[in-house]
């Protein structure tokens, strides 16, 4: 199974830890991650790319937990950050990896650039000429050199949800690839700026390899042009976006990564570049789940509702992207099958995890798990409805430890002034 959540008899476990016990010990809603599964995915990527000089820069936004970041840092990963806040997380969780950080995002601010220059990060993925000018100014002010890659927009279409597709000209990301060479020409003359790479990211949850290969093919040709112009372009940042399977369909992550690696290696063959990858979801999504308890069940007309103690503020993917998450009971038994909407307590009709979902009959007090919630789950959680966010637990070799305590209402209100 691509997921570390499996039944031991009738009881669901995460890498050997019993989920009923975790609920009893830490309460619900609770994010549970398997450190073993995260490490397995990281090693899978590293092995498949072993033949090429590469660095895996984990996309912090997918799951920003300090404990998860520390684990990945110890496995030799770098990080893809998009804010000064995420940089601070790297400082605290994996300071030894600061030299393996790439900084993406269309709206970097001067203070964030200063902090990143000061930390000596590997590469700025610059997304506009205006940003390039500010970066040059900051680098000069601090007496530093900013290594940059332009994030180019290759105009490659990749099938995914429109909110997470990014590689088309109409999107706000990057610089059109046809214009890139001219911008590099400007960049190379700027004091404080050193063009060192080309980067691309075409979107997220992309399940076929061809769009990645096509994007990197276009990047390769640009790298060759730039080298011809005399620039020392060493890095190819192929971005993140490698997808997983959320439903019940067969999914063999090792085979899929092998295919992805083969395609990229082929496109980059002989280029002699250092490949950077920015995977988020692939590393952490399936390693995590959201554990929640049924508060109530009810029936309105013909429709059955199961109301859980987790809500859209804890996991917004179904509400925001109509995302599908498998929902399974923590204790399986012989009850009848039911069809119900599984919803949270938040006062919005959009607060649902599943509509007309078939599960075993669920009763008040039952525990259920929303699978594949390790990426863009907790990191997108909010306080909407003045709800504290879930606690988080990391399981390694059957041992669970709290990596984020449950918030208190005092935490939640601490910054407010009347």
Query: Does residue 49 bind ligand LLP (CB under 6 A)?
Result: no
Q: Which is nearer to ligand LLP, 80 or 214 (CB)?
A: 80
Whether the CB-CB separation of 391 and 359 falls below 8 Å is answered with: no
279 is in an annotated binding site: yes
Quick check: 376 binds ligand LLP (CB under 6 A)? yes
288 binds ligand LLP (CB under 6 A): no
How many angstroms separate the CA atoms of 260 and 212, rounded? 8
Count of beta carbons in the 10 Å neighbourhood of residue 407: 15
Distance CA 281, CA 296 (A): 32
Question: How far is residue 190's CA from residue 211's CA, in Å, rounded to a whole number?
Answer: 33
Closer CB to ligand LLP, 4 or 239, in the complex: 239
Is 348 annotated for ligand binding?
yes
- Binder to ligand LLP among 14, 37, 56, 59 (CB under 6 A)? 59
Per the annotation, the verdict on 347 as an active-site residue is: yes
**Residue labelled with tokens 């970041």:** 69
- Does the annotation place 317 within a ligand binding site? yes
Main-chain dihedrals φ then ψ at residue 10, nearest 5 degrees: -100, 0
Q: Are strands 337-343 and 399-404 parallel, antiparallel or unpaired?
A: unpaired
Residue 325 interacts with ligand LLP (CB under 6 A): yes or no: no
Using rule CB under 6 A, residue 215 touches ligand LLP: no
Q: Which two tokens stand for residue 93?
A: 């969780």
Full DSSP string of 107-131: T--HHHHHHHHHHT-SEEEE--HHH
| CA 45 – CA 208 distance, rounded (Å) | 16
Tell me whether strands 274-277 and 193-199 are parallel, antiparallel or unpaired: unpaired
Does 241 bind ligand LLP (CB under 6 A)? Our answer is yes
Closer by beta carbon to ligand LLP, 201 or else 293: 201
Closest approach, Cβ 279 to ligand LLP, in A, equals 5
Among 34, 205, 292, 359, binds ligand LLP (CB under 6 A): 205
Residue 174 within binding range of ligand LLP, rule CB under 6 A? no
Q: How far apart are CB 227 and ligand LLP at their closest, in Å? A: 24
159 annotated among ligand-binding-site residues: no
197 annotated ligand-binding residue: no
State both tokens at 79: 């990080």
Among 197, 239, 329, 344, binds ligand LLP (CB under 6 A): 239
Contacting ligand LLP (CB under 6 A), which of 218, 317, 357, 387? 317
Does position 2 interact with ligand LLP (CB under 6 A)? The reply is no
Asked if 176 contacts 153 with a C-beta cutoff of 8 angstroms, the reply is yes
| Of 16, 3, 33, the residue nearest 377 (C-alpha) | 33
167 in Cβ contact with 212 (< 8 Å): no
Residues belonging to the binding site for pyridoxal 5'-phosphate are 241, 278-281, 376
Catalytic residues: 347
Q: Interface with ligand LLP by CB under 6 A: which residues?
A: 59, 62, 80, 104, 164, 201, 204-205, 239-242, 278-282, 317, 321, 375-376
Residues belonging to the binding site are 241, 278-281, 317, 321, 348, 376
């Amino acid at each position: 199974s691509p997921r570390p959540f499996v039944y031991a008899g009738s009881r669901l476990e995460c890498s050997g830890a019993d989920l009923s016990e975790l609920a009893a010990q830490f309460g619900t809603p609770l994010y549970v991650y398997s450190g073993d599964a995260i490490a397995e995915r990281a090693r899978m990527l590293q092995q498949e790319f072993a033949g090429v000089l590469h660095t895996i820069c984990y996309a912090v936004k997918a799951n920003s937990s300090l404990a998860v970041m520390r684990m990945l840092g110890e496995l030799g990963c770098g990080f893809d950050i998009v804010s000064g806040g995420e940089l601070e997380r790297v400082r605290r969780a994996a300071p030894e990896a600061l030299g393996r950080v790439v900084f993406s995002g269309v709206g970097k601010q001067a203070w964030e650039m200063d902090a990143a220059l000061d930390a000596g990060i590997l590469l700025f993925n610059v997304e506009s000429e205006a940003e390039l000018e500010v970066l040059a100014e900051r680098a000069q002010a601090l007496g530093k050199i900013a290594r940059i890659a332009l994030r180019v927009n290759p105009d490659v279409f990749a099938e995914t949800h429109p909110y997470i597709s990014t590689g088309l000209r109409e999107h706000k990301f990057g610089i059109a690839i046809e214009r890139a060479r001219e911008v590099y020409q400007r960049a190379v003359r700027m004091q404080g700026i050193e063009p060192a790479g080309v980067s691309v990211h075409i979107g997220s949850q992309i399940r076929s390899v061809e769009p990645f290969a096509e994007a990197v093919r276009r990047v390769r040709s640009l790298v060759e042009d730039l080298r011809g112009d005399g620039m020392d372009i060493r890095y190819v940042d192929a971005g993140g976006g490698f997808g997983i399977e959320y439903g019940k369909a067969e999914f063999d992550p090792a085979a899929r990564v092998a295919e992805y690696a083969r395609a990229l290696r082929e496109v980059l063959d002989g280029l002699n570049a250092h490949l950077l990858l920015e995977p988020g979801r692939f590393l952490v999504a399936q390693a995590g789940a959201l554990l929640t308890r049924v508060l109530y069940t009810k029936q309105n007309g013909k429709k059955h509702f199961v109301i859980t103690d987790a809500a859209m503020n804890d996991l917004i993917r179904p509400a925001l992207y109509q995302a599908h998450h498998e929902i399974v009971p923590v204790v399986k038994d012989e009850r009848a099958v039911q069809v119900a909407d599984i919803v949270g307590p938040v006062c919005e009709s959009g607060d649902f995890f599943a509509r007309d979902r078939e599960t075993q009959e669920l009763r008040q007090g039952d525990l259920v798990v929303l699978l594949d919630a390790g990426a863009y789950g907790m990191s997108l959680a909010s306080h909407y409805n003045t709800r504290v966010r879930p606690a988080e637990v990391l399981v390694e070799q059957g041992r669970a430890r709290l990596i984020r305590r449950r918030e208190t209402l005092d935490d939640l209100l601490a910054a407010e002034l009347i």
